[in-house]
Amino acid sequence: MFFKPNFLLLDYAIRSLMRRFGKSFFIFFILSLLIFVLASVLMIADAIKLELNTTLKTLPQITLQRFIAGKQSDVPLERVEALLDIEGISAVTPRVWGYYYFKPAGVNFSIVGIDAYEEQYSATLSTLTQRFDIKLLEKENGMIIGEGVQKILSENYYTEFFNFITSEGKWQRVHIAGVFHSDLALESNDLIILPKKLAYAIFGMDKSKATDIIVKVANVKEIPTIVQKINERYPDMRAITQDDIRVSYQNIFDYKSGFFLALFSICAFAFFIIIYDKTSGLSSEEKKEIGILKAIGWSSDDILKEKFYESFTLSLSAFFVGITCSLFYVYALQASFLRNLFMGYSALKPSFALPFSVDVSMLILLFLLSVPIYIAATLIPAWRASTLDADEVMR
């Protein structure tokens, strides 16, 4: 009843595994591989989630978008003043931003228009405005670009300036005033910051409108009530809160890793049928050995225990090997290949480092998905072996 480990038996089990090296190694290898793939996928998903959560914190508390006929459209600027009347709102900022498709490289740049006199809505932007002189940008038609953008542009021989093609088909020449790199590469790698005036010109937007509106709230707990008030006043506006984004991201990632896991289960199932097959076929050598052991005083239970130690050692070591490999692969090699599975961004986006995030609960999850399932696959073969008739050895 009370479990007391038998180290000699463990030793015996390990030797017995080593003796059947070919067979054990085959199982060990495949099992480690499966655990490795599974662990990598979960770790990547978790790391991206962590990265996104960090990014999310820098996102605005409430984003207001206007929908006309179910399509997002620009918001008239007069609503900004009106929104400030709602109690609890501490700041309202209209944003002008969008994507610019750069055909020669086939990538999208994010363009954000800023205004020197406005309060910046994100931490990244406010550090940038401190580092670079925004008023100067306005004077000399300049822009600040992210490292990724700089790389793409210089590949296309734009090192000093860039010619945007506006919606009317004219060229808009903008001077590259600076390059920034940020720790949060995910957010800023493909970013171009330029004065609002230029942004309006490039997008061909009406100057009395903004892309969307950012709302800052004094008390975070009041967000739901404020959203309700905004909805009452402007039924065509949709409010997206930080929390909404967080939940939808979490769902996407859980769904993606879940989907992967479902595929994985099928592979694993196939594998366990192989294991079942491999472990239930006993060679005459093994049968003889079981016979000898029984004759010299082992009971079925002891043999079952020995088999359990075997499968436990095998699966546990495969578990550790798989986990170690995937830690190395995900964080040292930055998970080349596999990370693309989770990122549907443009070619520029993925060049960020996966932040380290491994918690005990994930290890427990991985353990539950590997070791007990492997033991389950060997349970019946082990029982068959343990109840073999011992008189075999007497012939």
Q: Which residues bind another protein (CB under 8 A)?
A: 1, 4, 6-9, 12, 15, 19, 42, 247, 250-251, 254-255, 257-259, 261-262, 265, 288-289, 291-302, 304, 361, 364-365, 368-369, 372-373, 375-376, 379-380, 383, 386-387, 389-391, 393-395
Residues 6+ apart with CB under 8 A from 53: 246, 249
Give me the least distance between CB of 283 and another protein, in Å please. Answer: 13
Tokens (6 digits) for 365: 């999850």
Give me the least distance between CB of 389 and another protein, in Å please. Answer: 7
Give me the least distance between CB of 145 and another protein, in Å please. Answer: 37
Residues 6+ apart with CB under 8 A from 196: 96, 113, 114, 115
Which helix (H) or strand (E) element contains residue 333?
A: none
3-state secondary structure of 66: strand
Q: Residues 258, 360: contact at Cβ < 8 Å?
A: no
- Output 261 or 354, the one with its CB closest to another protein: 261
Instruction: Measure the CA–CA gap between 44 and 326, rounded to whole angstroms.
Output: 10
Give me the least distance between CB of 360 and another protein, in Å please. Answer: 10
Instruction: Measure the CA–CA gap between 72 and 64, rounded to whole angstroms.
Output: 10
- Output 277 or 391, the one with its CB closest to another protein: 391
Which helix (H) or strand (E) element contains residue 234?
A: none
- Output 104 or 258, the one with its CB closest to another protein: 258
Instruction: Measure the CA–CA gap between 322 and 359, rounded to whole angstroms.
Output: 16
- Output 15 or 175, the one with its CB closest to another protein: 15
- Output 6 or 166, the one with its CB closest to another protein: 6
Give me the least distance between CB of 300 and another protein, in Å please. Answer: 6
- Output 79 or 307, the one with its CB closest to another protein: 307
Give me the least distance between CB of 367 and another protein, in Å please. Answer: 9
